């Protein structure tokens, strides 16, 4: 027998409604629900909007049928969502600071260095067909003499006289 899949948005909505119906710690419960839902998703505007919408729908459902101070419940719920969003923004700010920590700018970053290296590799591979084939690593370097393996720059010069 196959179990029906649980829709996370509907579950979020029902959990928010239940939190409001229980009248206990609405602010912290809604904050935690919102944070958990945001952490499980891609942090895009669309996903943030979806989470806030479902939590709000749940809060509305929770205050709809009970003997509850609606103004206080809505105020607490909105404050909880606000806290959750603030924590997400702060966490992203810390993550961005860590990425740019040490004063390294994009100019000095390894990302730019890697991009320059890949450009050089692409350039070299596209021009490789027009260049003569490379020597094998086992062949010694030559300075023009068939017997020498040192470069001319390393040889001492003789004074002519």
Residue 14 within a domain = yes
Token pair for 23: 């009248």
For 112-142, letters b (16+ CB in 10 Å) and e give eeeeeeeeeeeeeeeeeeeeeeeeeeeeeee
Instruction: Decide if 123 is inside a domain.
Output: no
pLDDT in the model for residue 126: 56
Residue 19 lies in a domain: yes
Per-residue model confidence (pLDDT) at position 51: 92
Classify residue 82 by burial, with Cβ atoms within 10 Å: 0-12, 13-18, 19+: middle
Q: Is residue 39 part of a domain?
A: yes
Whether 135 is covered by a domain: the verdict is no
What is the structure's pLDDT at 5?
74
Total domain count for the chain?
Answer: 1
Expressed as residue numbers, the domain containing 41 is 8-103
pLDDT digits (tens, 9 = 90+) for 89-110: 998 899 888 888 765 555 555 6
Cα dihedral 145, 150, 153, 158 in deg (nearest 10):
-60
Grouped pLDDT means (10 residues each) for the chain, 161 residues: 71 89 87 91 88 92 82 92 93 87 60 66 58 52 47 48 49
Q: Is 158 domain-assigned?
A: no
- Check: CB of residue 27 under 8 Å from CB of residue 77: yes
**Residue at 111 is within a domain:** no
Distance between CA atoms of 100 and 106, rounded to whole angstroms?
8
Identify which of 64, 4, 6, 11 has the alpha carbon closest to the alpha carbon of residue 33: 11
Q: What is the pLDDT of residues 36-57, one digit of tens each?
A: 998 888 888 899 999 999 999 9
Q: How far apart are the first and last CA of the chain?
A: 103
Q: Is the residue at 159 inside a domain?
A: no
State residue 137's pLDDT score. 53
Q: What is the pLDDT of residue 149?
A: 46
């Amino acid at each position: 027998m196959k179990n029906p899949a649980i829709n996370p948005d509907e579950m979020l909505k029902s959990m928010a409604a239940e939190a409001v119906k229980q009248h206990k710690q609405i602010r912290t419960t809604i904050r935690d629900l919102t944070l958990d839902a945001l952490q499980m998703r891609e942090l895009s505007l669309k996903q943030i909007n979806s989470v806030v919408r479902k939590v709000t729908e749940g809060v509305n459902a929770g205050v709809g049928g009970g003997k509850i101070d609606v103004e206080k419940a809505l105020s607490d719920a909105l404050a909880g969502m606000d806290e959750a969003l603030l924590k997400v923004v702060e966490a992203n700010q810390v993550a961005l600071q860590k990425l740019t920590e040490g004063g390294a700018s994009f100019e000095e970053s390894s990302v730019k260095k890697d991009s320059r290296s890949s450009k050089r590799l692409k350039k070299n591979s596209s021009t490789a067909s027009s260049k003569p084939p490379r020597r094998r690593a086992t062949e010694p370097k030559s300075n023009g003499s068939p017997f020498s393996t040192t470069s001319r720059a390393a040889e001492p010069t003789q004074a002519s006289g």
